[in-house]
Amino acid sequence: MPAANYIGDTSYRLFSYNETEGEELDTLSYVLKGNLTDLETESAYWSRGKVGSSIGYPNMYLQSKNISAGGGSSFATITLNFTGFLTSELNNPIDITDSITLQSVTLVSDEVDSEGRDQNIQVQYMAQQTTTRWIYRGSSAPTAPRFPAIVPSEVAGGVLFGHYPAKYSGTLQKKHVGRLNQFDRVELATGVWAVTETWSIRIEPEA
């Protein structure tokens, strides 16, 4: 939780804040209040793209600010709007999230049926999905993912269920594959991008 301490060399200090966690990016609204006479200096300090390290958010970057002043008041309010990752840790990747989803696939047996036709069997399985959020720094936007799925060499027994039709002969031809489901990039500041990539490990027919 941020402390309501004075920031920099002006009278401005934290008045309120609001953190919002998102699936890809987090947002922060950070409200400062101080003397009207210090407004110009404080506003100049908070330029677009500035990192929030001085207020305890080293992975958040300023996107916009709103100023409220006047009306005969000797005080002014500055609302800072940040985007990035709320964690205060400087690890990269920022975080890794695993989940599973129900999937289905049609596989072919290595034996034909009694009439010489392929046996196509529909099965279900739980597919692992991994989302990694990380920060990229460079002169141009990142063009490739960094954290591909680690694909098992074999499909373990018992992974498949719900076979239809239930009866067949032979062995289903199958393999694990890693598929990139998502690769999103958002520029937070000049030369700084927030990246979200999602991989899933699927079961597909073996050619």
| Cα gap 15→12, rounded to integer Å | 9
Which residues neighbour 109 within 8 Å (Cβ) at sequence distance 6 or greater? 118, 119, 121, 168, 169, 170, 171, 172, 173
Q: Which two tokens stand for residue 169?
A: 């002969």
**Cβ-contact 66, 15 below 8 angstroms:** no
Q: What integer pLDDT is reported at residue 11 of this predicted model?
A: 87
**Cβ-contact 119, 113 below 8 angstroms:** yes
**pTM of the model as a whole:** 0.84
For the chain, 207 residues long, the average pLDDT of each consecutive 10-residue run is 56 95 96 94 95 95 95 92 94 94 96 92 97 96 96 91 94 96 96 97 92
